[in-house]
Chain A
Amino acid sequence: MSNADDDALRDRIGRLMENGLETQTEPFPENNLEFEAILDELRKLGPEDLEQKLVISGFVNKPYGEDEQRCLECMYYLVHRKWCDLPELAVPVEADWWCRLWRI
């Protein structure tokens, strides 16, 4: 995927959230088993099912929770590419976004 494609897809994801896409931010996976269960759900999706991917992983377009968690600190976030490197997601993101698969 080229940078332009990444940018376009990032914009599209941003618009989906701006337009009120309701995602499952809760429950936050407290441990690995719960984390894995969400990944299992994601693995069942087709490659084009972007909206459902965002819904299941609980995407929001702003920092989340008391600690203001955001993609920037997440270990799956590639800063320069602005990319979520979690294989089950693998989408372009903004540093200030968040999802419930956040890990550091």
Chain B
Amino acid sequence: MANIMWLQGGACSGNTMSFLNAEEPSACDLVTDFGMNVLWHPSLGMELGDNLQQMLKDCVSGAIKLDIFVFEGSVVNAPNGTGEWNRFAGRPMKDWVRELSDAADFVVAIGDCATWGGIPATAPNPSESQGLQFLKRDHGGFLGKDFKSKAGLPVINIPGCPAHPDWVTQILVGIATGRAGDLALDEFQRPKTFFQSFTQTGCTRNMHFAYKVSATEFGQRKGCLFYDLGCRGPMTHSPCNRILWNRVSSKTRAGMPCLGCTEPEFPFFDLAPGTVFKTQTVMGVPKDLPAGVDKKGYIKLTGAAKAAMPAWAEQDIFVV
């Protein structure tokens, strides 16, 4: 039996909603089939008031063994580093986060806000938000870059806005069943099993990407969303087109550009007007090129791809 405590800081509950929609395994399966004991969760927890406060204290003291501490949402430090803008169970949430992180065998950050600060940490960051171990790309965050949980691992980051339920449940199952040692993490402490490939991997528009045919409107079935509509699929590490959403689709499959929400910089360009859903260019060339591609190579490839383009690439091949 693995004890899990799930708390929420500066957040919209999106990751909780996503988690509760998990199917394979479901949130209930975690309890009934995988031996997880959810001590408390913002939407599921039974304890209130003094009882909850006592439970938290018992986790900190070790009276209740805390196997996994899950945090959703940013760590709010405002005003002036006090954390008073986000109080929970009688004190600033950030104080609970610090003590529970020190007490837990494993610490898991769910969603962009908990991993890198996310939308709350967008400039000018009035809530003084941080992720648990990162602030955007800067290693450190609230717990500091040297933090390791009792099991010897740094914070396990499962980013996304929200994170896919399978990413959450599969990592929790892996930890709870004693296979945390199999987890390989990337430079941003994301499990490589999910975040080594790109959002573009498995995208149904890859043929249009290859032949440089652009979608020019949302919802269009033909064309690639990278060239004009700001899709970040070729630069974003996520399995969104391998592990489908609701088992059937993804943003790009539905004609909606990837926003790059599993990357530390999300939301990109601090949401400046004109930057969302529009590919940013410098002298006609995308500012952010597909990962590993340089400008010269990109221009050469474009010429070759266009010259070789078959006629069908310009047509809607997804006919009813």
- Report A55-78 CB contacts with B as 1/0, cut-off 8 Å: 000000000000101001101111
Secondary structure class of chain A's binding surface, majority of residues: loop
Nearest chain-A residue to B285 (Cβ)? A104
Min distance, Cβ B283 to any Cβ of chain A, angstroms: 6
With contact pairs A79-B314, A103-B228, A104-B285 given, residues A73 and B299 touching in the complex (Cβ less than 8 Å): yes
Say whether A86 faces chain B, with CB atoms less than 8 Å apart.
yes
- Report A11-42 CB contacts with B as 1/0, cut-off 8 Å: 00000000000000000111111011000000
Tell whether, in the assembled complex, residue B214 and residue A76 are in contact, meaning their CB atoms are under 8 Å apart. yes
Tell whether, in the assembled complex, residue B281 and residue A35 are in contact, meaning their CB atoms are under 8 Å apart. yes
Say whether A6 faces chain B, with CB atoms less than 8 Å apart.
no
Q: How far is the CA of A99 from the CA of B314 in the complex (A)?
A: 21
Interface-lining segment among B40-48, B75-83, B303-311: B303-311
- Report B293-316 CB contacts with A as 1/0, cut-off 8 Å: 000001100110011010100100
Say whether B249 faces chain A, with CB atoms less than 8 Å apart.
no
Q: How far is the CA of A75 from the CA of B314 in the complex (A)?
A: 11
Contact of B298 among A33, A72, A104 (CB under 8 A): A104
Tell whether, in the assembled complex, residue A72 and residue B306 are in contact, meaning their CB atoms are under 8 Å apart. yes
- Report A67-104 CB contacts with B as 1/0, cut-off 8 Å: 10100110111111100011100000000000000111
Q: How far is the CA of A80 from the CA of B299 in the complex (A)?
A: 20
Q: Chain A: how many interface residues by the 8 Å CB criterion?
A: 25
Among A73, A85, A104, which residue has the most Cβ atoms of chain B within 10 A?
Answer: A104
With contact pairs A103-B228, A104-B302 given, residues A69 and B217 touching in the complex (Cβ less than 8 Å): no
B-chain residues with CB within 8 Å of residue A30 when the two chains form the complex? 282-283
A-chain residues with CB within 8 Å of residue B278 when the two chains form the complex? 32, 36
Tell whether, in the assembled complex, residue B283 and residue A28 are in contact, meaning their CB atoms are under 8 Å apart. yes
B-chain residues with CB within 8 Å of residue A75 when the two chains form the complex? 212-214, 227-228, 302
Tell whether, in the assembled complex, residue A31 and residue B281 are in contact, meaning their CB atoms are under 8 Å apart. yes
Contact of A76 among B216, B279, B285, B303 (CB under 8 A): B216
B-chain residues with CB within 8 Å of residue A69 when the two chains form the complex? 284
Tell whether, in the assembled complex, residue A80 and residue B302 are in contact, meaning their CB atoms are under 8 Å apart. no
- Report B179-212 CB contacts with A as 1/0, cut-off 8 Å: 0000000000000000000000000000000001
Contact of B284 among A72, A80, A81, A103 (CB under 8 A): A103
Tell whether, in the assembled complex, residue A78 and residue B212 are in contact, meaning their CB atoms are under 8 Å apart. no
Contact of B282 among A31, A77, A78 (CB under 8 A): A31
Contact sample, A vs B, 19 pairs, CB 8 Å cutoff = A30-B283, A31-B282, A32-B279, A32-B280, A35-B281, A72-B306, A72-B307, A73-B303, A75-B212, A75-B228, A76-B228, A77-B306, A78-B213, A80-B311, A85-B214, A85-B216, A103-B281, A104-B212, A104-B285
